[in-house]
Amino acid sequence: MDLTGKIAIVTGVSSGIGRATAEALLARGAAVAGWGRKAPEDLDNERFLFFECDVRDEHAVAEAYTNTQRELGLEIHILVNNAGLGIFGPIDGFKSEDWHAMFDTNVNGLFYCTRAVLPQMKKQHAGHLINVASLAATAGTANLAGYCATKYAVRGFSDALFKEVRPDGIRVTCVMPGSVETNFNGAQPGTDPDPYKMQPEDIAAAIIHALEAPDATMISEIQLRPANVKK
């Protein structure tokens, strides 16, 4: 897909992978509707519009979608479901509200956003859905059972969805990064890049790669790991 002039929605746009993806899309000539609870700082581009949206609230998602179409036009070519939440801990001490917060964000929110854009993409017979999961969707990890459960759900949803909408000309890609240097789980990125973690821009580049794949090709899954391993 040539991204020039395309309309993209990116959720969780305030920082990390979401912001890096928005910047990468803008650099390719796309217009970006950024959805999030907080606007990204210092992202000044005439083709970027921010819409306040908590993806856990299906009515907020519907409103953000309506506002996006009003400002950028009816056609929506790309949705990057990036908004995510990770809370870690042993299951026997896990709070129910934390469990629900993760599922409401990582799974239900992704469903609400996907459901919103699909009718228009089907009408266009074109579109690309990017679902940001995690390597936690491929193997369980102690003290990450809740988070892994949500990301397994995202991967399963993505796999089923691509088979459902491929006849409609819509592509689905599940992106599964390993360790990325972001504010995830309350961590603060260091002043210097961590050589044992990927950067948000690395994941954004993989997303762009999937979006720009030849017309005859759909990249259904991408797994990414840091190249450097601690000895």
Catalytic residues: 147
- First vs last Cα of the chain: how many Å apart? 40
Q: Residue holding tokens 């606007």?
A: 39
Instruction: Please write down the HEC assignment for all residues of 42-84.
Output: CCCCCCEEEEECCCCCHHHHHHHHHHHHHHHCCCCCEEEECCC
Are 180 and 16 in contact by the 8 Å Cβ rule? The answer is yes
d(CA 102, CA 2): 34
CA-CA-CA-CA torsion sign (169, 155, 159, 108): negative
Edge-to-edge strand order for the sheet containing 127-132? Answer: 48-52, 31-36, 7-11, 78-81, 127-132, 170-177, 221-224
